[in-house]
Amino acid sequence: MTLVRPLAGALALALGVGAASLAGAVVPAAPAHADSIRDAQYWLDSLGIREAWQTTRGEGVTIAIIDSGIDAGHADLRGAVIDGTDVSGAGTSSGGPVAGSSHGTMVASLAAGRGSSSTSGVIGAAPDADLLSISLSFGAGERPGDAQVADGVVWAVDHGADVISLSLTRNQLDWPESWDDAFLYAEQNDVVVVAAAGNRGSGTEQVGAPATIPGVLAVGGIDRAGRASDVASTEGITIGVMAPSENLVGAVPGGGHRYWQGTSGATPIVAGIVALVRAAHPELSAAAVVDRIVSSADAVTSTVPDPQYGYGVVDAAAAVEASIPIATSNPLGSLEEWISVHRRGDAEARVVELEPARAGVARAPADTVMDALPVPSWALTELARVLPGLLVLGGVALGLAALALAGVLRFVAGRRTQ
């Protein structure tokens, strides 16, 4: 069983070392009035989101928020959540917020908040998109976090998600094989997966899974000046794009708002922008959508992708409106290809183990100790490599032997005639 460790900040979840943990931190602040909340959303203009709304606001696209649950009754989120579930065993069947956690509601508001009015409250990057709420809980006694995440991804795909937003991190580069199956299921069903890179301020010094999974759009964080955040971001070669992760504001259960920071907030902003692209270009595959996002990003350094900034700061207007050739593959890789290379040994072992059980194949009892021992896969591979050469050498040897035998027979025959 994998355990997880706690992140710094007001989330205060009972997590231990190694499995998934929510990737954001709440920054306590004085309560704000609803109209000042809208004014505080500087990223709506800096990322070109308002400009992109002239084309689409995300209608017809469904974003799955796999997090701590959403307060669907919040004024900023009324009508946004169309379905939900709980995979932790601690939440409500509809995906409502797990007791004591505001994280999922804040995340959801930045992705597809409606605002409490046209000028007040939190409005998401894709305010007309629909939301699915899948609630997680990594407290003591809950189901293993890895299993919750895998189940949440599969449920989201099965219930019509076009985009999956994951503001959590495993705090390590690798992931369990159960995630192979779940995230491959999303890839094969044309779903864009967006994941948080993690935060130095919460102890994540490098990008962790699921943001390390090939094909996943990993999101790093910048401050208001456009620099990589010292505390609310991290670095790694899998980062795709950057979005604001400081001085954020989000909706919290019960109707209020709170300031916060972290790539937990940057991630749903990008997920909302992905929804805008999917709404504006429904003909595009998930791979082509990711390509539009990274190709249209504003590069920060001369090296692209850069381990701190990825392809650059996401640009919603360019991603929606720019003329970009349609890509046929995901620039961030393919999980299916990765599995075929890196899990191949395991796959071969499973095939060898299952082969005797094939229908119609009888296996004779082992007559000798050698027959009873399994043949290592490397030995079979080496035999296949050298067998042609052995056959050639064998043929030459037989030919020489035949010539020698013919010479002997002629010699014997000659002696008999004398």
Distance CA 171, CA 156 (A): 23
Residue of 323, 195, 318, 188 lying closest to 268 (CA atoms)? 195
Annotated catalytic residue, options 68, 71, 86, 103: 103
Residue 6, classified by CB atoms within 10 Å of its CB into exposed (0-12), middle (13-18) or buried (19+), is: middle
Strands of 256-261's sheet in order across: 25-26, 256-261, 248-252
Annotated catalytic residue, options 167, 233, 245, 264: 264
DSSP string, 123-176: B-SSTTSEEEEEE----TTSPPHHHHHHHHHHHHHHTT-SEEEE-EE-SSS---
Encoded tokens for 312: 């650059």
Annotated catalytic residue, options 67, 86, 291, 315: 67
Distance CA 195, CA 270 (A): 9
Bridge partner residues of 123 (DSSP): 114
End-to-end CA distance of the chain, in Å? 89
CA dihedral 341, 343, 348, 353 (to 10 degrees): -170
Catalytic site includes residue 118: no
CA 136, 141, 146: angle at the middle one, nearest 5?
Answer: 45
Catalytic site includes residue 67: yes
CB atoms within 10 A of CB 362: 5
Catalytic site includes residue 245: no
Cα-Cα-Cα-Cα dihedral sign, residues 405, 407, 408, 410 = positive
3-state secondary structure of 65: strand
Q: Which residues does the annotation mark as catalytic?
A: 67, 103, 264
